[in-house]
Amino acid sequence: MINPKPLFEERMRRLLPEESDFADFSKKIHEYPLNFIRCNTLKISPDELRQKLEEKNWKISQPFSGRQEIMLIESKLLPGEIGKAIEHLLGYYYVQEVSSMMPAFALEPKPGEFVLDLCASPGSKTTQIAALMENSGAIIANDRAVDRIISLCSNLERCAVGNTIVTKEDAIFLCQEMGSINLEFDKILVDVPCSGEGNIRSNPKTLITWSIGAIRQLSDLQKKIAISASALLKKGGTMVYSTCTHAPEENEEVVSYLAQKKGLVIEKASLPLKSRHGIKEWGKSSFVEGIENACRIYPQDNDCEGFFVAKLKKE
Amino acid sequence: MKIRFLTKGKKKELLRNLEKNFGIEKPDFLFFETIRDIRIFTGSVSKEDLGILVKNLQIQTMGLFFARREGGELRLSLDATHLLSKKIKKNILEISSVQKERWMNCESIEIEKSLKGIFIVKNKEDFMGTGKALNGKLFNFLPKERRTGNY
Ligand SMILES: C[S@@+](CC[C@H](N)C(=O)[O-])C[C@H]1O[C@@H](n2cnc3c(N)ncnc32)[C@H](O)[C@@H]1O
């Protein structure tokens, strides 16, 4: 078991001031995450998939009514078994932790819309968005990292996503390019690179690499990316900003900056997971009105990974 | 990625081919081609608007790998057989569940000697791409990353 650095612990205690809550968090982050998958409704219905998986003697539950595509594999499986199952290779499901499904639910993409997924690799959310759009409209899915673009493309193929255009650019540069040809989007997802404090369960090494310096640097980058993206949002359009971290510098601070600079309104997203309000202040900073509408997803609340999701509207 | 939309003539030929070989009628996709492959765009963006995007953005890939033409044959991709599962009516070769395991491991499987040409492979309700029947064997074109042995 890797012990958290003292500063990480101190900051998490400030976010979770109740002793029992902090204790639950500290315990949960050392537990192996549950095995969630998302049914790829572009290829198969949740009922059909469940039946197939149950025929393999996998115990499956669908914990969220109205979101049947979210499936939990309750059986103990061998390492790698979920990835090499024929149903996975056929593209019937995508292995995705439940909290990572929340940004796309908050975005609510509709068939026919024009959507930008600015930091898209390896494509968990792009494939989910395409399924919600029933493969119609169009998605521009971008990422800067060559190796990750390869995974993105192969996941798009496996899931039979046919409405997506993939680009490999720096997000800020791409937004400038698209702005210069007056492209505007109905929906924009900005799932930025982050310090990953929410992913400790699946990636405990985050506790070793964690540093406050990295958080500061990431926060600056996230602000630049989010501001660039917001310029491409249609009037009436929705932008979702998300991270898999708890650090307020990467969450409320970025959203607050964005909302103030661009006059975007922070709306409450309706999510199937329990979430807590965005915090109103952190250290010397106090955040924009409406920030409490942002959603903080904690591992101890849902037996999931940690996430942050903010839904912003251009009025 | 170099993207060329299919000319009217080429599209007509492709549609004819799809219907003749697999009974697929009027697939509602925008077809384009890269050097070796036919790809599709399933989205609801006009060809003109797509053209603007293609012209102005450095595109890595677009849409979905649909089929490869090789030696006069048209081999539908695994994922194309999924998208078209309700429209495929002809030249379907049913395989057993045991054969399915071997197929997904990219092994060729024994079939009747009389069968020849390109078939769409199916086990129960699962479409599993295209295979080539020759001399009592069904040869497999599954891409590496979709084979069980490779995972
Ligand atoms: C949190 S991950 C995205 C996960 C992805 N949305 C998904 O659901 O599968 C952040 C991504 O941002 C990419 N990235 C980092 N800096 C970037 C930049 N300046 N421009 C574009 N992408 C960037 C990383 O390569 C990484 O793939």
Quote the ipTM score.
0.96
Count Cβ atoms within 10 A of the Cβ of residue A219 and give its class: 0-12 exposed, 13-18 middle, 19 or more buried: buried
pLDDT score recorded for residue B149: 80
pLDDT tens for A263-301 read 999 999 999 999 999 999 999 999 999 999 999 999 999
- Cα nearest neighbour of A149 on chain B: B60
Integer angstrom CA distances of residue B95 from A49, B23, B86, B98, B135: 20, 19, 18, 8, 17
Confidence band, pLDDT 50/70/90 cuts, at residue A189: very high
Distance between Cα A241 and ligand 1 center (Å):
12
Checking if the pLDDT of A171 tops 60, the result is yes
Give how far the C-alpha of residue A264 lies from the chain's centroid of Cα atoms, to the nearest Å. 20
Query: B58 CB near a chain A CB, below 8 Å?
Result: yes
- Cα nearest neighbour of B39 on chain A: A162
What is the average pLDDT across A189-200?
98
Query: B100 CB near a chain A CB, below 8 Å?
Result: yes
The best mutation among A115, A144, A169 to test binding of ligand 1, ranked by most ligand atoms within 8 Å of the C-beta, falls on A144
What is the average pLDDT across A144-156?
97
Contact B82 A160 (CB under 8 A): yes
- CATH topology for A100-313? Rossmann fold (3.40.50)
Contact A137 B44 (CB under 8 A): yes
Contact A89 B126 (CB under 8 A): no
Checking if the pLDDT of B151 tops 60, the result is no
Contact B56 A181 (CB under 8 A): yes
Q: Which residues of A touch B62 (CB under 8 A)?
A: 164-166
Catalytic residue numbers of A?
244
pLDDT score recorded for residue A192: 98
What is the average pLDDT across A56-82?
96
pLDDT tens for B11-46 read 999 999 999 999 999 998 999 998 889 999 999 888
What residues line ligand 1, using a CB cutoff of 6 Å? A 119-125, 143-145, 148, 170-171, 191, 193
pLDDT score recorded for residue B21: 95
Against a cut of 0.95, is the pTM above it?
yes
pLDDT tens for A120-143 read 999 999 999 999 999 999 999 999
Distance between Cα B87 and ligand 1 center (Å):
37
Mean of per-residue pLDDT scores for chain A: 97
Chains A, B: CB contacts under 8 A, how many?
A: 100
pLDDT score recorded for residue B150: 63
The whole-angstrom distance between B100's CA and the closest CA on chain A is 9
Q: Which residues of B touch A112 (CB under 8 A)?
A: 44
The whole-angstrom distance between B147's CA and the closest CA on chain A is 7
Checking if the pLDDT of A148 tops 70, the result is yes
Distance between Cα A190 and ligand 1 center (Å):
9
pLDDT score recorded for residue B45: 86
Ligand 1: nearest atom to the Cα of A193: 10
pLDDT score recorded for residue A292: 98
- Helix H, strand E, coil C: the string for chain A is CCCCCHHHHHHHHHHCCCHHHHHHHHHHCCCCCCEEEEECCCCCCHHHHHHHHHHCCCCEECCCCCCCCEEEECCCCCCCHHHHCHHHHCCCEEECCHHHHHHHHHHCCCCCCEEEECCCCCCHHHHHHHHHCCCCCEEEEECCCHHHHHHHHHHHHHCCCCCEEEECCCHHHHHHHHHHCCCCEEEEEEECCCCCHHHCCCCCCHHHHCCHHHHHHHHHHHHHHHHHHHCCEEEEEEEEEEECCCCHHHCHHHHHHHHHHHCCEEECCCCCCCCEECCCEECCEECCCCHHHCEEECHHHHCCCCEEEEEEECC
- Cα nearest neighbour of B41 on chain A: A162
Helix, strand, or coil here: B92?
strand
pLDDT tens for B98-113 read 999 999 999 999 999 9
pLDDT score recorded for residue A245: 98
Checking if the pLDDT of B1 tops 80, the result is no
Residue to substitute from B48, B60, B98, interface A, most A β-carbons within 10 A:
B60
Q: Which residues of A touch B29 (CB under 8 A)?
A: 162
Contact A114 B45 (CB under 8 A): yes
What is the average pLDDT across B51-75?
92
Checking if the pLDDT of A248 tops 90, the result is yes
Determine how many CB atoms are found less than 10 A away from the CB of residue B41: 24
Least confident of A146-155, A238-247, B43-52, B116-125: B43-52
Q: Which residues of B touch A137 (CB under 8 A)?
A: 43-45
What is the average pLDDT across A191-207?
97
Residue to substitute from A110, A163, A184, A185, interface B, most B β-carbons within 10 A:
A163
What is the average pLDDT across A67-75?
98
- Cα nearest neighbour of A183 on chain B: B53
Residue spans of the domains in chain A: they are: 100-313
The whole-angstrom distance between A70's CA and the closest CA on chain B is 21
Selecting from A160, A169, A178 the residue whose C-beta is nearest the C-beta of B79 gives A160
